[in-house]
Amino acid sequence: MTSFPPQTQAAIDFAADLFRQAKHAVSLTGAGLSTPSGIPDFRSTGTGLWSRDEPMEVASLSTFRTEPERFFEWFRPLARQIYTAQPNPAHLALSGLEKAGHIHSIITQNIDMLHQKAGSKTVIEMHGTMQTLTCTQCYHQVQAALHLDLFVETGSLPRCPKCKQILKPDVILFGEQLPQAAWFRAQREARQCDLMLVVGSSLEVLPVAGLPMQALDRGAHLIIVNNVPTYLNVRADVEILEDAALILPAIVEKVLNG
């Protein structure tokens, strides 16, 4: 078992107490949750995707429509990382909390499907998913695995089996609206929860970054586990500036076994 400094251990114990008392807890997860699985986040200095590329030039809807080859050239190494990544202890810890009835849902900004790989069932994907692709011409939707596997291996652009036009991954690019159904579900969860756990998110991307405030405004408790502070750390009941892959298993162990 990992040994923590007294202040960190006290925060872990308090977080566990909040989970045991909660009737409707939800988690909001961001890219920092998946960095221990080898998937780069977006804003970390030197390692984040946007420290190397200009997002509006490579990952916008306008770029995809006008220069799909440029998008896919940027996307190919990321797709390879996502498809080979495995859940880390933080994903498994959240899945364990859900199985034990201590988390009602997971709202995620990630597209990597690692929550599902870890066994989580109620996952609200705010920025889309890598599980499917949709044709830009006839809107035929296909399962991504076969098409993206071939793309990752050969670089051949995925094309619609019906009309042969380019298939777009069902992820939200810059310039696209959030999936409406997912956004409504996420807002409902934020407004109904009595505890929100924010993990691995800098809370810088709106409108998802506003969900914890919706929870706080209705009296919910807030736990933040992230490597760097967020704008809401001053409002959090518990803030732990550590690696989620170390902290979440410790919280779950305390929740389940005291």
Cβ neighbourhood burial of 138 (10 Å; 0-12, 13-18, 19+) = exposed
Q: How far is CA 96 from CA 29, 49, 90, 100, in A?
A: 15, 30, 10, 6
Using CA atoms of 46, 81, 105, 95 in order, give the dihedral in degrees to the nearest 10: -110
Catalytic residue, candidates 91, 127, 147, 221? 127
The whole-angstrom separation of Cα 209 and Cα 147 is: 33
127 as an active site residue: the answer is: yes
DSSP per-residue letters across 173-187: PBT-PPPHHHHHHHH
Mind telling me the catalytic residues?
A: 127
